[in-house]
Amino acid sequence: MKIDLLNVSKAYGQGEAQFWALKDATVSATEGDFISIVGPSGSGKSTMLHIFGCLDKPTEGEVRVDDQLISTFSDQQMSRIRRDHIGFVFQQYYLNASMTALQNVLLPMQLAGVKGGKEKAAAALETVGLGGKLRSYPAQLSGGEQQRVAIARALANAPSIVLADEPTGSLDTATGKNVLDMLMALNRERNLGVVIVTHDETVAQKAKHMIHVLDGRIS
Ligand SMILES: Nc1ncnc2c1ncn2[C@@H]1O[C@H](COP(=O)(O)OP(=O)(O)OP(=O)(O)O)[C@@H](O)[C@H]1O
Ligand SMILES: [Mg+2]
């Protein structure tokens, strides 16, 4: 799968309050890529990632998913693309506190009616090194383990591309490194596309491509 942003701009708000968070961005991501997005707070990194992830449509410019223009897509088609091809990891883990690790990973697949979800969820947790914690609740897991549950959830349905918005932002250096190493291994071994927003220069440097964003523009 390939996602192309072509001269994409994104404005929030209307009239006097209108603010251009992203200006004229042209960038692509596909399987096997490892792209980092860096830039100051408020420069438009998350905005770019949301457009990459078909969570949002641009105000101007084109987004193509496998050469199909998404401007013509319904919300339902957008959510199908996300479900089938894209995994998301955020700085906050957004785990359900009343569900076990396994249930958390399983939930999106259940909602989407994916068959064999339980096996896929267990396998994904195994991949992130949590095969022994399937029945643990978030409160019983460390921050790094919770983030790995969130990564397992993003990976469980075998996406082509994972989009990660500061996935190591809430973790200590060593745990953050583990999470990053894992994403890099999946990139190498399974050709997973990874697009990662980070404030961490050393993390950013490890990517094959680095995108600098400043005031909404790629510099
Ligand atoms: N829903 C929104 N409505 C209005 N303005 C928004 C909205 N979302 C983001 N913005 C503005 O757009 C700009 C870019 O936001 P964005 O979240 O993309 O920044 P960022 O680079 O991810 O920053 P950070 O590193 O702090 O997460 C900011 O100035 C922000 O205030
Ligand atoms: Mg952000």
Give the tens place of pLDDT for each residue, 83-140: 889 999 988 899 999 999 999 999 999 988 889 999 999 999 998 889 999 999 999 9
This prediction has a pTM of 0.92
Total domains present in the chain = 1
Q: Is the confidence at residue 173, as pLDDT, over 90?
A: no
**Is 46's C-beta closer than 6 angstroms to any atom of ligand 1?**
yes
Q: Is the confidence at residue 175, as pLDDT, over 90?
A: no
Average pLDDT value for the chain: 93
Range of the domain at 140: 2-218
Q: 165 has which bridge partners?
A: 197
pLDDT at 20: 98
Strands 2-12 and 60-65: antiparallel
pLDDT at 169: 81
Cα(44) to ligand 1 centroid in Å equals: 6
Read off the CATH number of the domain in which 149 is found.
3.40.50.300
**Is 43's C-beta closer than 6 angstroms to any atom of ligand 1?**
yes
Pocket of ligand 1, candidates 18, 43, 48: which has the most ligand atoms within 8 Å of its Cβ, to mutate?
43
> For tokens 């420069």, what's the residue?
43
DSSP letter for 148, please.
Answer: H
- Look at residue 54 and give its three-state secondary structure: coil
